[in-house]
Amino acid sequence: MAPETVEDLQQLFELTAERVKPLTNLGNSDKLALYALYKQSTVGDNDTPQPGMFAVTDRAKWSAWTAHKGKSAAEAKAEYIGLAERILGAK
């Protein structure tokens, strides 16, 4: 069921994030996708400098987040919820 209001979306987003938090056996692509959508949802566009080439993990996270540049918080939250539900359904 899709949230009807901004408040409903925010509440569902927060509940979903809490359900995802304890998952420890996610693949790197799922972790990066969830991270990027969470950051876009909560912070907005990434305006931090790109990490150096030897900071492999930080650079991957930066790139994943930057890929969502321009996406609204509501769009990112809806995508986060959808991805999390697919992951949780597969567990």
- The number of angstroms, rounded, from the C-alpha of 37 to the middle of its chain's C-alpha atoms is 2
Q: What is the pLDDT of residues 11-55, one digit of tens each?
A: 999 999 999 999 989 999 999 999 999 999 999 999 999 999 999
Please name each of the domains of the chain with its CATH number.
Answer: 26-90 (1.20.80.10)
pLDDT at 71: 98
Structure tokens at 5: 């209001």
pLDDT at 47: 97
Answer yes or no: pTM beyond 0.85: yes
Query: Measured between alpha carbons, how far is 82 from 55 in angstroms, rounded to an integer?
Result: 30
